[in-house]
Amino acid sequence: MVENNKINISWLQALAHGPMTKVTCWPIYFCRGYIFHTYDHGKDKTNANYGVCVKDTSSHGSSGDPDFYGVLQGIYELHYPGQVHLKVVLFKCDWYDSTIGKGIRVNKSGIIDVHTGKRYGKYDPFILASQADQVCYVPYPRVTQKKDQHWKAAIVIQPRGKILMNQNFDSTTMQHSDDNSVVSTDILQVETLVNLHGQTENLEDVEEEAGLRSDAEDENIDYELTDEESD
């Protein structure tokens, strides 16, 4: 509520006053299934967790692949005083040039390549941690031309705890506990079997042998029962 050009809502006043001047810096941050490292913290590690990408939120931005690719340089946690107790985590990133054909290109396999030698011209380093997706910049093993040395493939990392399933998932081999029917599958007819020693066995002989073994076991059971009864 606003009266006489004054805000009377306490939490809105806290937001309007802005965050505290002291911030908390982190070298690692876990968000949305990703483990992010700052570049200084993760540059010498086996896994490169400092690559980030974010979709273009401008009016002309497309809904396809993320338009901005960069490297995570800093993780800052901001605190708002008062009753709100709001915490906001910001990522400070160095962005690569997002111009198609100059800083970003799509190769024949549909993978996005990023020119790591060209930077974004404007100063806009901060994003919310919740906006960031993770990528890994992988160099090509063989580069024939010098101009292609800075081009790296931006491999999108899937967040932990999430499984992307194909929409055409084939469930014909699945049996549901709440369904009494079992989905039928194709049966492959086999006439012979080959054991571990390379010997071929006829299925008819195997079935006949199994039947004889079963009859013999039945006879043994009857015989044992007869002995018990005789005692």
Provide the residue-wise pLDDT of the chain in tens; the chain has 231 residues: 556 666 567 777 778 888 888 999 999 999 999 999 999 999 999 999 999 999 876 645 555 545 899 999 999 999 988 777 889 999 999 999 999 889 999 988 889 999 999 999 899 999 999 999 999 999 988 877 877 889 999 999 988 866 655 544 443 333 344 444 444 445 555 556 566 566 666 655 545 555 555 454 454 444 444 444 444
Q: What average pLDDT does the chain have?
A: 76
Q: What's this model's pTM, rounded to 2 decimal places?
A: 0.63
According to DSSP, the residues that pair with 35 across neighbouring strands are 30
152-198 residue pLDDT tens: 999 999 888 666 555 444 433 333 444 444 444 455 555 565 665 66
Which DSSP letter does residue 100 get? B
End-to-end CA, the chain: 98
CB 112 within 8 A of CB 153: yes
Query: Angle at the Cα of 54 (from 52 to 58), degrees rounded to 5?
Result: 155
pLDDT of residue 104: 93
Is residue 176 classed exposed, middle or buried when 0-12, 13-18 and 19+ CB atoms within 10 A define those classes?
exposed
Beta carbons within 8 Å of 72's beta carbon, 6+ residues apart: 36, 37, 38, 39, 50, 51, 52, 91, 92, 93, 132
Domain residue limits, the chain: 2-156, 192-230
Please tell me the distance from the alpha carbon of residue 13 to that of residue 166, in angstroms, as a whole number. Answer: 48
Nearest to 103 by CA among 89, 114, 91: 114
Q: Please give the structure tokens belonging to residue 231.
A: 């005692």
> Residue 36: which residues within 8 A CB-CB, separation 6 or more?
28, 29, 30, 49, 50, 52, 72, 75, 91, 129, 132, 134
**CA–CA distance, 103 with 97 (Å, rounded to integer):** 5
